[in-house]
Amino acid sequence: MSEIYIICVEDEPQVLDVIVKDLEAMEEVFPIEVASSVAEARKLIKEIHQQGGRIGLALCDHIMPGEYGVDLLIEMQNNPFTRNTRKVLITGQAGLEDTIMAVNKARLNHYIAKPWNPEELLEIVRLELTQYVIATEKELLRYMSVLDPVRLQEEIRSRGYI
Amino acid sequence: MATFRRNFVSNADIVNTINSMLPDSTWLRGLLRKYHSGEVILREGQENDSLFVILEGQVSMEKEGDNLSTRIDLQEPGDFFGLLSFHTGKPVFTTSRAHSDVTLLAINHQSFEEINNQYPNISHTLQGMVFSNLAHRYKRVVMLHVEVDNLSRELEKEKDQLKHTIKVLEKTRNMLISQEKMAVLGELTAGLAHEMNNPASALLRSVDFLVKNLPEMFDKSARIQEKSLMRFFFESGQQREFVSSEGQREKTRNLAEKYPDLGRPEVRLMSEMHPDAFDALVPYASNSRKRELFELYLEAFQTGVFTNSITLSASRIENLVKSLRSFSRHNKGEREKMDIRKGIGETLMILGSRLKNIEVELNLPEIPPVNCYPGEINQVWTNIIINACDAMEEKGRLIVSCRYDGSGSVWVDIADTGPGIPAKFRKKIFSPSFTTKAAGGEFGLGLGLSISKSIVEKHQGIITVSDRPGGGAVFTVRLPVGN
């Protein structure tokens, strides 16, 4: 069974540090990898692909040197490998137009404004990853401790088997 | 014997008298001169020994000025000119130019003698003529004097009006500058809020981590005897440099393989350490009995990392607030001496993320401080730089340079590598309401550059735009260092 990764794309190291720290609890089951730019993120996605992993969630900043986060998310939507990756924009500087593009062209799943509430962040990440595993995993029990147990239970029941 | 007679002679008398005598006197006819319209008969400053009587046509008397000549008078048939130079031998005082085709009688000294002797009629008439003419000229002087007086009074009134109008314009200009400042401030504040999101996030979360973890760390530290490396790992954490790359990921992977008992967060932290800290930690990593101490040291390291984040973020917020302050500073109506490089730096700082994808090149050598309104000068830089960023669509190079010209002025060039400004717009670009941006909510409502021009001119400076060799535009601002 391949690993499901969380990737965080953010150019400011101080912000990246605290995002990763806030999501530490997830690393029991979902390893976290980081990238400081869109270009770096592309390499990372390729590496994960080559190693046989999958990307369950991408947490992306928008304004970064080089290319912008929304553009990466759109790319990911168009790439079959990352099409069902849950996509979350975490930013303070995406204008309305860019956000609309992210929703329409990248099928953005969630928008988090900086600064974020750590409990909310964790909650959203849990929610998104729960959706991901429901969509892609046969075996859901192992995720009960780390994701949304209620939702998982519902899903298990509706599938009719464990 | 000559008798004194009251002698009013009309111009008609003169002309008629002379004309009646012309047919009978060849000599007299010899004194006739004809000139075409526009010809100069006597030029101011030349030598002259003749008295000229106008028989036909008009002669204009002109005084040469700086650039143009002033018409003093228009002489008619029966008038004469050249009297002063004829009589005193001094150079001609007033230029005489034929206003139409003219016929003149030119009487030099010899002829005058001759006339006195041979034609006493004319002599007498001439005398009368001279006095009449001089009287007329005197009257003119008096009239002109009165006219000048009136004009002076009118002028005073207009001057006062003008002074008042200038005051109103000054006020309006300052009001527009003020309004635009508010617009700039508004846009900057919005941008600032965004700028602050990142450092604020880092700050808040880092502080939260410390608040949650420090007490426990202190407790743990108290329990464990051997903790001499706490400070070492803390300081190492403060100096950690973040790297995200394939190499880094490989390093982390290798460590994970080497220490299968450690969780990902632990391995990640270890891989971020400098070699000396890493080496110091390794003995504890593989020793299961030293596990608690190992965790403590890692925590100390991470505490160092977050403490450093707090320092960096707080400092960034401070700079942002400081640079905003310089914009919102109220002008107390007095100028200050300011190193304008400081203002340029503050502007660049406050524009933060707009410049993220732009390579900023600064050539800012020492220049003398400029006597100015700092807030307004900063408005100018903000304006130009924002325009440059927009022109480049937030990707390209921004080159800011300054110099002192050694003769009282500081020059600042702000160049971009955008599409440049088409020649047809170059003059219009500084006029109010010129904009190539879509209407509605766009920065400055098109007033930006015109206000900048206004501000620069208020400082007795000049602002121009030109092509950048290699592509793009260069805005040049020249500011006198000031009184």
Closest residue to B204, CB basis, from A21, A64, A115: A115
Tell me the shortest Cα–Cα distance from A20 to chain B, in angstroms.
Answer: 9
The highest-confidence range among A93-107, B213-227, B254-268, by mean pLDDT, is B254-268
Look at residue A18 and tell me if it is in a domain. Answer: yes
Are A12 and B249 an interchain contact pair (Cβ–Cβ within 8 Å)? no
The domain in which residue A11 lies consists of: 4-117
Q: Which residues make beta-bridge pairs with B338? A: B370
Structure tokens at B226: 């051997």
Look at residue A94 and tell me if it is in a domain. Answer: yes
Ordered structural domains, chain B, with CATH: 11-118 (2.60.120.10), 196-322 (no CATH), 329-480 (3.30.565.10)
Tell me the shortest Cα–Cα distance from A161 to chain B, in angstroms.
Answer: 32
ipTM of the complex: 0.89
Are A27 and B264 an interchain contact pair (Cβ–Cβ within 8 Å)? yes
> pLDDT tens digits for B179-195?
887 877 777 777 777 78
Q: Which residues make beta-bridge pairs with A111? A: A89
> pLDDT tens digits for A39-81?
999 999 999 999 999 999 999 999 888 889 999 999 999 999 9
Tell me the shortest Cα–Cα distance from A159 to chain B, in angstroms.
Answer: 33
Are A17 and B242 an interchain contact pair (Cβ–Cβ within 8 Å)? yes
B129 close to B14: Cβ distance less than 8 angstroms: yes
Q: What's the pLDDT score for residue B136?
A: 80
Chain A positions touching B248 (Cβ under 8 A) are none
Domain count, chain A: 1
> pLDDT tens digits for B92-137?
988 999 999 999 999 888 888 888 888 777 777 777 777 877 888 8
Q: What is the separation of C-alpha B70 from the centre of its chain, rounded to a whole number of angstroms?
A: 38
CATH of the domain at A75: 3.40.50.2300
Main-chain dihedrals φ then ψ at residue B149, nearest 5 degrees: -55, -50
Are A63 and B309 an interchain contact pair (Cβ–Cβ within 8 Å)? no
Look at residue A155 and tell me if it is in a domain. Answer: no
A71 close to A37: Cβ distance less than 8 angstroms: no
Look at residue A95 and tell me if it is in a domain. Answer: yes
Residue B326 confidence (pLDDT) above 70: no
Query: Global pTM?
Result: 0.67
**Cα dihedral B476, B409, B448, B357 in deg (nearest 10):** 50
The reply to whether omega before A115 is within 30° of 0 (cis) is yes
Q: What's the pLDDT score for residue B4?
A: 59
Look at residue A19 and tell me if it is in a domain. Answer: yes
Q: What's the pLDDT score for residue B401?
A: 96
Are A32 and B202 an interchain contact pair (Cβ–Cβ within 8 Å)? no
Closest residue to B201, CB basis, from A18, A24, A36: A18
Main-chain dihedrals φ then ψ at residue B406, nearest 5 degrees: 80, -10
B183: number of Cβ within 10 Å: 17
Closest residue to B197, CB basis, from A16, A64, A92: A92
Residues 6+ apart with CB under 8 A from B34: B101, B102, B103, B104
Alpha helix positions (H), B351-476: 374-391, 448-458
Map residue A152 onto helix, strand or coil: helix
Cα B452 to Cα B372, B377, B413, distances in angstroms: 14, 8, 14
Q: What's the pLDDT score for residue B443?
A: 42
Residue B293 identity (one-letter amino acid): L
Look at residue A24 and tell me if it is in a domain. Answer: yes
What span, in angstroms and rounded, lies between the C-alpha atoms of B141 and B372? 52
Q: What's the pLDDT score for residue B41?
A: 92
Chain B positions touching A33 (Cβ under 8 A) are 249
> pLDDT tens digits for B333-362?
678 898 999 889 888 887 877 788 899 999
Closest residue to A65, CB basis, from B199, B268, B356: B356
Q: Are strands A86-91 and A54-60 parallel, antiparallel or unpaired?
A: parallel
Chain A positions touching B201 (Cβ under 8 A) are 15, 18, 92, 114-116
Q: What's the pLDDT score for residue A161?
A: 62
Residue B146 confidence (pLDDT) above 70: yes
A69 close to A62: Cβ distance less than 8 angstroms: yes
DSSP state of B400: E
Smallest CA–CA distance from A119 into chain B, residue: B205
- Report which of residues B429 and A71 the model is more confident about: A71
Look at residue A129 and tell me if it is in a domain. Answer: no
Look at residue A55 and tell me if it is in a domain. Answer: yes
Show which residues on chain A lie within 8 Å of chain B, measured between beta carbons.
Answer: 12-18, 20-22, 24, 27-28, 31-36, 40, 43-44, 47, 63-66, 91-93, 113-116, 118
Tell me the percentage of chain A whose pLDDT exceeds 90: 81
DSSP state of B445: G
Q: What's the pLDDT score for residue B375?
A: 82
Residue with tokens 């320092």: B311
Residue B273 confidence (pLDDT) above 90: yes
Residues 6+ apart with CB under 8 A from B109: B49, B86
Map residue B480 onto helix, strand or coil: strand
Residue A94 confidence (pLDDT) above 80: no
